[in-house]
A and B are shown apart, each in its own frame.
Chain A
């Protein structure tokens, strides 16, 4: 039941609420856009991640089961 955070990079507008609510995994670059630490969420963070997903003003953040479900582009 591994969950992975996925960002729709086109929707993302650099609001940065995700980084405020999940600083363990999300930091912001020089222009306010999120950098996500690779890897799956550990159980204690899942609730915080859901809150971050809910807080995104443009619905760019998603929780998915695996990297494939998260929609990584297939060449």
Chain B
């Protein structure tokens, strides 16, 4: 990959966002990027719309359109919720971005608040992201009084679904971080009954750059037909796992290269997150990692997770662990999710342990097919994508496990003779 100039994290001393590198101070931030733009609300929304920026929380919804729909309903009392909950375990980008570039995130939140007419800004940070929270707190303390008076940090409870949009709003309103289905939606009536913009912190940081440099700058980045830049969390069988910045359209092989290359045999990669899908490495080595190209192949960028599964790890095993975690993280509000996910997890565990009951595989297939769209939030949908992709990508392993064998285990292990 053409080494991305590091737009989000730009600065010669930082290529890889790392919390330990220390948070950028307000002075350094201003020196690097200049003051906060003074554009009006209308101009801001137009700029973000023209840039084509897509949300980075997992849904890839157009950011400008979201700002416009909140602005239309706001009469000045809207709420801006910067979502840094990052409950996805394989994703480190949000916590790293907040820890290393808190002022860029704050700028994004301030601009978004101006765009939608919000006088209340909430930074919703996952309870385990201590470096991120500390950096944000310190950064807010560096800001003038009027900013400090309008902003606050709220700790998101740990849990996979705490960062879901309606869960965040529900938590702010009632201390309960579980998704809701009752209309109206947050952009109409959210925190305190006011129109609420819930936006991922990476999306806000990107918007802050777009406001300074213009939509043409953002559109000028990217490969092929993809536009823009983004953060990836690369993990698994790579030499330098971590958060890497890339122009959209960079390929899977580019991502591996940015992470120092693969450190062993890899057959499969998990793309998007726990709620994402497995892909065959050989088939998708040249896959451009942007929403358009990925959707064309039945995949999705999710929240930028790229996890290379080492070949010596059994895919059925890995999937069983993932689906068990997802089942444990259900908000336990909807029957299809509570019963469906746990039944699938149990059957997948039996399959992974090479002792499936008769009909287990057929039931896994049927139950996974029945999950989509039948929960109050998209949690079961993500589990369905994970399972269906696993059944396809690891078809050979699944068949072996049905016969009480394992392709991975039966490979001869390298034994070092001392």
A interface residues with partner B (beta carbon < 8 Å): 8-14, 29-33, 35, 71, 73-75
Contact = CB atoms under 8 A, between A and B. Distances in A.
A66 B192 CA distance: 28
B55 interface: yes
Given A9-B375, A14-B335, A75-B55, A31 B340 contact: yes
A14 B374 CA distance: 12
B333 interface: yes
B367 A30 contact: yes
B113 to A, nearest CB: 20
B160 interface: no
Contacts of B20: none
A75 to B, nearest CB: 3
A74 B378 CA distance: 11
B334 A9 contact: yes
B378 A31 contact: no
Interface of B is mostly: loop
Contacts of B67: none
B363 to A, nearest CB: 8
B185 A75 contact: no
B217 interface: no
Nearest to A33: B335
B340 to A, nearest CB: 7
B181 A8 contact: yes
Given A73-B166, A75-B59, A9 B181 contact: yes
A31 B185 contact: no
B374 A73 contact: no
Contacts of A31: 335-336, 339-340
Nearest to B178: A10
List 8 tightest A-B contacts by C-beta distance, closest first: A75-B59, A33-B335, A31-B339, A75-B61, A9-B376, A10-B376, A9-B334, A71-B183
A13 B336 CA distance: 10
A33 B340 CA distance: 10
A30 B339 CA distance: 9
Nearest to A31: B339
A74 B164 CA distance: 12
Interface in B39-74: 55, 57-61
A20 B4 CA distance: 59
Nearest to A71: B183
Nearest to A8: B181
A29 B185 contact: no
A73 B335 contact: no
Most buried by A among B339, B375, B377: B339
Given A10-B376, A35-B374, A29 B181 contact: no
Contacts of A8: 181-182, 376
